[in-house]
Amino acid sequence: MEHISLLSSSQHSFFTAIQKNKAPPLPFRLSKKRTYRRTPRLRCQKMYVPGFGEASPEAKAAKHLHNFFTYVAVRIVTAQLESYNPEAHLELKEFLDKHSVNDGDKFCADLMRESPRHKNIALRILEVRSVYCKKDFEWDNLELLASKMVNESNTRLMRDYVLETSDVENQE
């Protein structure tokens, strides 16, 4: 505190402002702050993937998996019916010949409305689909296999391109 009394009054106000944890007055004038137009984006470390509309790529993949689970459930139920109820198996096969399983929910809805007997088969397919998704499908294995396939495919494609564009084969 003794040094401050030796300073001029303008310097004295500068040091007392620092002591009180206040910003000192600036000797120059700040220019206007630039304003940037911000686009409403989520702040995350993931890639932005354009072209998917309202759904994310994960939502699209989930929809495809949902339909795939229906396909798997139909295969399981068909195999079960073949061994213990040949008549229901035949009815399901005939229905499959006329209707596509590409849209799983539409397939099950149509099957339910076909007849009371078909309704029971549809309910069995819904049950198997749910159980397969929750208990039998190996989600960790899916992630590993998908990652492995992408890495192997990328490596193969890059290697093929390098071999195609270089003179390695011609020099041998």
- DSSP for 68-127 reads HHHHHHHHHHHHHHHHH-HHHHHHHHHHHHHS-SSSHHHHHHHHHHH-HHHHHHHHHHHH
**Could you report the per-residue pLDDT of 38-63, keeping only the tens digit for each?**
555 555 577 777 777 777 888 889 99
Cα–Cα distance between 108 and 141 in angstroms, integer? 28
- Position 4 scores a pLDDT of 47
What share of the chain in percent tops pLDDT 70? 71
| pTM given for the model | 0.65
pLDDT on residue 169: 56
Least confident of 3-12, 60-69, 101-110: 3-12
* Average pLDDT score, the chain: 81
Q: Delimit the domains of the chain by residue range.
A: 57-137, 138-172
Secondary-structure class of domain 57-137 per CATH: mainly alpha
What the block records as the tokens of 119 is 């309704």
The average pLDDT across 91-116 equals: 94
What pLDDT was estimated at residue 3?
47
